[in-house]
Amino acid sequence: MKLIIDDADTEAIKRLVEYYPIDGVTTNPSILAKAGRPPFEVLHEIRSIIGPDRELHAQVVARDAEGMVADAHRIVKELGNNTFPKVPSIPEGFKAIKQLSAEGINVTATAIYTPLQAFIAAKAGAVYAAPYINRIDNMGYDGIDVACKIHDIFRANNLHCEVLAASFKNSEQVLKLAVHGVGAATIASSVIDSLTKNAAIDAAVDDFTADFEGLTGAGKTMATV
């Protein structure tokens, strides 16, 4: 499962890319709005941080297929070939996905709440389908179950599309999708930090250090004994 940052906070992205095996960054119009800067200025900075080999996902804003395609062309032109325009999974979006896929542009189908939305998006040519886990939960359904069903539908129907699960509230949700083997999860910076945050882990490392320093002296490491 790919590990992707769902954020436009460039300082947070720099830190996470430094420490974790990050595969890319996703954004959406709401995330970009929080940055309070021109959208392409932020996106270019993100691209400079993550480099050309990691994925960058940026969402179209137009409401009709023609406008979505124009937005997607601008996104790829500005940000490079390893950039994935995000297109809403609605009828106009499916029309746009078909055209963009025929042009060889990799599309992420977004705003997915149901397995059939994802199925249609994949049939239209999307390479990722992004179900909103926490938002689905808040509607009274099981977001993890929906994402897993989408993954299974893709495999059962030989569709060349992967789940890009989004909208998480905790690390347990991420764990369940990793166990199921979905393609990718895009996770807010704060949730990524929580994936390995555990007092027992910190205590174990502290105990090892104390025992070693008790043997060799304060501040000593394997490189300095």
Written in H, E and C, the secondary structure of 30-67 is HHHHHHCCCHHHHHHHHHHHHCCCCEEEEECCCCCHHH
What pLDDT does residue 199 have?
A: 86
- State how far Cα 31 lies from the chain centre: 13
Q: Tens digits of per-residue pLDDT, 158-178?
A: 999 999 999 999 999 999 999
What pLDDT does residue 197 have?
A: 84
- Both tokens of 222, joined, read 């394997």
What pLDDT does residue 105 have?
A: 98
Q: Domain residue spans in the chain?
A: 2-194, 198-225
- Does 149 participate in catalysis according to the annotation? no
Question: What φ, ψ does residue 179 adopt, rounded to 5°?
Answer: -60, -40
What pLDDT does residue 198 have?
A: 85
Q: Considering the domain 2-194 in this protein, what is its CATH number?
A: 3.20.20.70
What stretches in the chain show pLDDT beneath 70? none
What pLDDT does residue 196 have?
A: 85
**Residue among 86, 149, 169, 220 flagged as catalytic:** 86
Question: What φ, ψ does residue 22 adopt, rounded to 5°?
Answer: -85, 135
Distant-in-sequence, close-in-space partners of 55: CB < 8 Å, separation ≥ 6: 2, 4, 23, 24, 25, 82, 83, 84
Distant-in-sequence, close-in-space partners of 187: CB < 8 Å, separation ≥ 6: 3, 4, 5, 6, 168, 174, 195
